[in-house]
Amino acid sequence: MSLFVLKEVSYAYPRGDTVLHDVSLSLEAGQNLGILGESGSGKSTLLRLMLGLAAPSAGVLTADGTPLDIQSRARMQAHRRFAQPVFQDPYTSLDPRMRIGRALAEPHAALGLPGDAQAEIARVLAAVNLPQDSTRRLPRAFSGGQRQRIAIARALIARPRVLLADEPVSALDLSTRVRVIDLLADLSRELTLVLVSHDIAIVAALCPRLIVLQHGRVVEAGATRQILQNPQHPYTRMLLASLPRLPEPKETAR
């Protein structure tokens, strides 16, 4: 069974522009999906719909086999356990005045999750390679990469089957970025990742499936490998061509 199925989903702001037009996609377990797009492509809106933070203005969004009704509290509590977010900016995704222990305990209590909260916190901290005494500290004691790990840990508390990540590494330094990508790759052995990014290299590193969004429409979809080798849509070709590359290493330098 597909984790997510979107059928001709559109989204328009109340009395405003339509930012998504007839987007269809399906997410299969174990097949990380990359959503590639630039600003104004509607990629973040798509993620908000999948998180159930807003409802499509048209079309059907099915999660875990049933349509998502964001008005139903019971359905949404179940959806929170099914899909969790990771945000771009590690500096605003953690409450600056809440100690890490409380921040991690919060979803455990609010979602009524089984198991001992302290044991679960220990489990997720270990999963993101942070020391156990992190719980006593405030977010400001951590670097950007460490904060992103904490944000991922918070998402993992619910033992979600899908992680919806919006540009999770683009605010991070290069070396930190590689480590967080490794962590996400590690985690995606047990859950499925939807990764929204403007950076095709990061999408390629993590996602075997890819859709390309331009102005709220899917212009290309398929296997990442094929799209990279043989992009069909001019926009995809342009994105690939725009990517600055390092100089080719000399044979001897390797």
Chain residues 116-155 in contact with another protein, contact rule CB under 8 A: 129-131, 137, 140-146, 151, 154
- DSSP string across 160-194: -SEEEEESTTTTS-HHHHHHHHHHHHHHTTTSEEE
| 22 vs 91, beta carbon nearer another protein | 91
| 22 vs 188, beta carbon nearer another protein | 188
Shortest Cβ 65–another protein spacing (Å) = 20
| 7 vs 113, beta carbon nearer another protein | 113
Exactly one of 29, 60, 67, 92 binds another protein (CB under 8 A); that residue is 92
Q: Which of residues 220-239 bind another protein (CB under 8 A)?
A: 224-225, 228, 238-239
80 lines the binding site for another protein (CB under 8 A): yes
Closest CA to 163 of 58, 246, 85, 47: 85
Residues sharing a CB contact under 8 Å with residue 226, sequence separation 6 or more, in sequence order: none
Shortest Cβ 8–another protein spacing (Å) = 25
Shortest Cβ 48–another protein spacing (Å) = 8
21 lines the binding site for another protein (CB under 8 A): no
Number of residues that bind another protein (CB under 8 A): 75
| φ/ψ of residue 54, rounded to 5 | -150, 160
| 29 vs 110, beta carbon nearer another protein | 110
Exactly one of 13, 29, 95, 230 binds another protein (CB under 8 A); that residue is 95
Residue 51, CA distances (Å) to 44, 56, 241 in order: 11, 11, 32
Exactly one of 161, 179, 215, 217 binds another protein (CB under 8 A); that residue is 179
68 lines the binding site for another protein (CB under 8 A): no
| φ/ψ of residue 218, rounded to 5 | -80, 115
Cβ-contact 34, 95 below 8 angstroms: no
CA trace torsion 111, 116, 121, 122 (10° rounding): -160
